[in-house]
């Protein structure tokens, strides 16, 4: 893997890439925590530096359609790959539509295990059609197949309530039609399929990057042991928790177990099979480890039933987590990190825990660990274990301190960092907190600008998708926010379909540059080639076009 010098004038050292996670562009100021924040540094960059808007959702990042919002996983995959790959939702759609999933090793093994042991098939996953981590449509198709073709008599569904990639209190909009779907399927096929347990996605099961194993342990107690609070139905559980916790949104709902007169309807037992039906990897790895690993020490698995377990996909292609999966993941090869390592380029990647895997694992094409430890340094700043709205500045200052130190050391040619604030705080749906989050990022960018200027480097500022720029659920026909029960604008916690900024700051000004207006619809895939430009290197032929033009 070889790269050659392209630009005859001096290259920049270092090139610093700031990814403002979840900070997109939207013209409308209503509910726009980006536009309405005090951001003097971002404003200056837009007034004085080459800039453009990048598409960060839908087909531009390998998702099925332009109605699909972007997310951090596919955004960083695309940024690191220099072109887009078909991503999780599209791959699963294709596998289900073709029926390929049902002839695969994973599905065949799980259904066989159920039959041989007279067990139930369990499905655990994010229960919405947000299409970021999962899609309820995939679950329904698998249940139909299970009942009609596989003749598996008993299935149980463990619902992780969303309220983050979809409306913040939309859980019953998914639960009620799904209960009707199960009732019809049971009557038509003569099977026993029910919801068995659940809880909010930020309360149980879906931790990531080992930030809080207690979430996974609580999920185990809920789905496997069925030891949490019991209710007669998922609807009863949701309505009761809402009454007891006024203002709670779906992602924060406590765990629940569905029970009838005989007790819990669906603990996971010896001889059962389990599918974790999320296709996105970051929040699926820990629960997969809990089911798969024999020498597991993160929490006490009581009980630890003998089951066949599979993920929708292989969530970690290097560590092979889980051991069994239903759909082959995208094989992302020849990432920018691989090319830069081959060329001897020294690199640093840094974020706090919440997005550390995005600037490493996802950036490197779903690979764990270093590509070349001699040339790379990965820095993880431990995230606080507090609600993000209570500390919206998160670890931005600490990340910035490390970056400024690294720039001053002159040990790196390329530094990439992620500020998670716009995304993680944006997901809370709390507008005031999101404004503080955006302002914290802007303040840190100003500090990095000074360090880059002193080092005679260059700074790229962009984002992986939008979020904080659209903090209210909007009534598009009326052009105003929807109103919640308290009479306030209804918070939006999901990602958006909005573009993101791309800005380049060259403090020296001795290499005049402009954005290449000939690129019809620039997107995240164009960023990697632009990094090659600024490093004075030729882009790989398979990469999307670079965004800049230089004047001698």
Q: Are 117 and 273 in contact (CB under 8 A)?
A: no
Contacts of 331 (CB under 8 A, 6+ apart): 317, 365
Cα 166 off chain centre by: 14
DSSP state, residue 415 = E
DSSP state, residue 492 = -
Report the C-alpha gap between 97 and 142 in whole angstroms.
Answer: 11
Q: Can you give the three-state secondary structure of 16-49, one letter per residue?
A: EEEEECCCCCCCCCCCCCCCCCCCHHHHHHHHHC
- Dig out the tokens for 298 from the structure: 């993160």
Q: Of 284, 198, 185, which is closest to residue 235 (Cα–Cα)?
A: 198
Contacts of 377 (CB under 8 A, 6+ apart): 347, 348, 349, 412
What stretches of 64-161 adopt beta strand conformation (E)?
Answer: 121-126, 154-161
- Please provide the DSSP assignment of 289-324 as one string: HHHH-SS--SS--SS----EEEEEE-SBTTTTBSSS
Decide: helix, strand or coil at residue 72: helix
Given the residues 9, 37, 72, 383, the one annotated as active site: 72
Report the C-alpha gap between 543 and 539 in whole angstroms.
Answer: 7
Catalytic annotation present for 128: no
Q: Which residues of 50-88 are buried (b: 16+ CB within 10 A; e: fewer)?
A: bbbbbbbbbbbbbbbeeebbbbbbbbbbbbbbbbbbebb
- Dig out the tokens for 175 from the structure: 């639960």
Contacts of 255 (CB under 8 A, 6+ apart): 197, 198, 199, 203, 204, 218, 219, 221, 222, 228, 229
Report the C-alpha gap between 168 and 488 in whole angstroms.
Answer: 14
Residue indicated by tokens 């630890």: 304
Give me Rg for the CA atoms of the chain: 24
Q: What angle do CA 223, 225, 227 make, to 5 degrees?
A: 95
Active site residues: 72
């Amino acid at each position: 893997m070889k790269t050659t010098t392209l630009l005859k004038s001096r290259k920049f050292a270092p090139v610093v890439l700031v990814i403002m996670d979840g900070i997109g562009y939207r013209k409308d100021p209503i509910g726009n925590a980006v536009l309405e924040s005090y951001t003097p540094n971002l404003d200056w960059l837009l007034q004085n530096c080459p800039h453009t808007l990048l598409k960060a959702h839908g087909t531009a990042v390998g998702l099925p359609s332009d109605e699909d919002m972007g997310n951090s996983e596919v955004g960083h995959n695309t940024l690191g790959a220099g072109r887009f790959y078909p991503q999780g939702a599209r791959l699963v759609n294709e596998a289900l539509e073709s029926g390929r999933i049902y002839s695969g090793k994973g599905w065949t093994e799980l259904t066989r295990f159920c039959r041989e042991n007279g067990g139930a098939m369990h499905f655990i996953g994010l229960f919405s059609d947000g299409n970021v981590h999962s899609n309820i449509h995939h679950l329904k198709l698998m249940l139909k197949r299970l009942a009609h073709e596989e003749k598996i008599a008993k299935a149980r569904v463990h619902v992780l309530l969303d309220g983050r990639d979809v409306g913040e209190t939309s859980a019953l909009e998914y639960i009620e039609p799904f209960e009707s779907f199960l009732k019809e399927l049971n009557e038509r096929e003569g099977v026993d399929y029910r919801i068995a347990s659940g809880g909010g996605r930020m309360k149980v099961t879906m931790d990531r990057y080992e930030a809080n194993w207690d979430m996974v342990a609580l999920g185990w107690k809920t789905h496997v042991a069925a030891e949490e609070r019991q209710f007669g139905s998922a609807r009863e559980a949701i309505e009761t928790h809402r009454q007891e916790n006024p203002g709670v949104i779906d992602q924060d709902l406590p765990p629940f177990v569905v029970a009838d007169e005989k007790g819990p309807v669906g603990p996971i037992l010896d001889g059962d099979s389990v599918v974790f039906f999320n296709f996105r990897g970051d929040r699926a790895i820990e629960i997969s480890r809990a089911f798969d690993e024999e020498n597991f020490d993160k929490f006490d698995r009581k009980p630890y039933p003998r089951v066949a377990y599979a993920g929708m996909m292989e969530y970690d292609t290097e560590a092979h987590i889980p051991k069994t999966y239903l759909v082959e993941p995208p094989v992302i090869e020849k990432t920018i990190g691989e090319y830069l390592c081959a060329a001897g380029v020294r690199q640093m990647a840094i974020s706090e825990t919440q997005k550390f895997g995005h600037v490493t694992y996802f950036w490197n094409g779903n690979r764990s660990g270093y590509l070349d430890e001699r040339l790379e340094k990965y820095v993880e700043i431990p995230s606080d274990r507090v609600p993000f709205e209570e500390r919206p500045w998160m670890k931005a200052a600490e990340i910035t301190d490390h970056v400024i130190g690294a720039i001053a050391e002159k040990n790196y040619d390329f530094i990439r960092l992620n500020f998670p604030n716009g995304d993680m705080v944006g997901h809370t749906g709390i507008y005031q907190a999101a404004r503080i989050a955006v302002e914290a990022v802007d303040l840190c960018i100003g500090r990095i600008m000074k360090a880059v200027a002193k080092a005679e480097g260059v700074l790229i500022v962009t984002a992986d998708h939008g979020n904080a720029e659209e903090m209210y659920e909007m009534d598009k026909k009326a052009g105003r926010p929807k109103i919640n029960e308290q009479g306030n604008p209804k918070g939006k916690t999901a990602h958006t379909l909005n573009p993101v900024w791309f800005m380049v700051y060259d403090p020296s000004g001795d290499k005049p540059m402009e954005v290449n207006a000939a690129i019809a619809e620039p997107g995240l895939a164009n960023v990697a080639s632009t990094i090659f430009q600024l490093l004075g290197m030729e882009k790989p032929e398979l990469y999307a076009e670079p965004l800049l033009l230089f004047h001698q």
